[in-house]
Amino acid sequence: MSAPSLRDQAYHIIYEQIAAGALAGGTVTSEVQLSAQLDMSRTPVRAALQQLETEGFVRIISKHGVLVLDASAQRTGDLLELIAAILLFAVASVRRLDPEGLAELSLKLAAELQVRLEADKLDANPEALCAFELSAIRSILALGRNQEMQETAERSASRLFWLSSGRRWTAPCRDEMADVMQLLLHRLPASNDAFHDAMQRYLRMLKMNW
């Protein structure tokens, strides 16, 4: 496998700084500052910033620098709705093609969630529950065998900083979130209408507590 390009390296480093809060919303920086920090020329840094601007993380202001943007509630909602739509489509497809596999996955994921919830009562770990959610989404989409959908969901989850957005798994939301997640998993093999209803409840919880 070839080594990542300088542009990709710059993108991932800057992205991680934004995700970790080292470059917080409202921060103003510049190509020159970032190039010096990363010990790179301005060309790959500029390309990385252009990609981050396209994805909504920064705004490049000519002659003034680079503004790190605050997370947008609208943007967050759009990405969550995209993931929900992908899941609805994938589950409907798998329900036709492999209903037994979907039912088996439903039982497996519901049981795993219960184990994780019991462990969380002893040692609260919202990040672990976020990781389980993302793993469950990946497992569901894997049954659909649609690489493009899987990649789109991965990019969307990455832009949402999914693994560090665990507020819904803390009090006072945790118990309701657990019930909604269990319902979603149990209804995987149910009718399209039943699963759609469970997905809408899940989506509302995500939007309200992101």
Q: In this structure, what token pair is assigned to residue 158?
A: 């990455």
28, 63 Cβ separation under 8 angstroms = no
Helix (H), strand (E) counts: the chain: 9, 3
What pLDDT is stored for residue 16 in this prediction? 83
Cβ neighbors of 196 (< 8 A, separation 6 or more) are 88
Domains within the chain, CATH numbers bracketed: 6-68 (1.10.10.10), 73-209 (1.20.120)
Has residue 108 got a pLDDT over 90? yes
**160-187 per-position pLDDT tens digit:** 889 888 999 998 999 999 999 999 999 9
CA distance 102 to 93: 10
Q: For the full predicted model, state whether its pTM sits above 0.85.
A: no
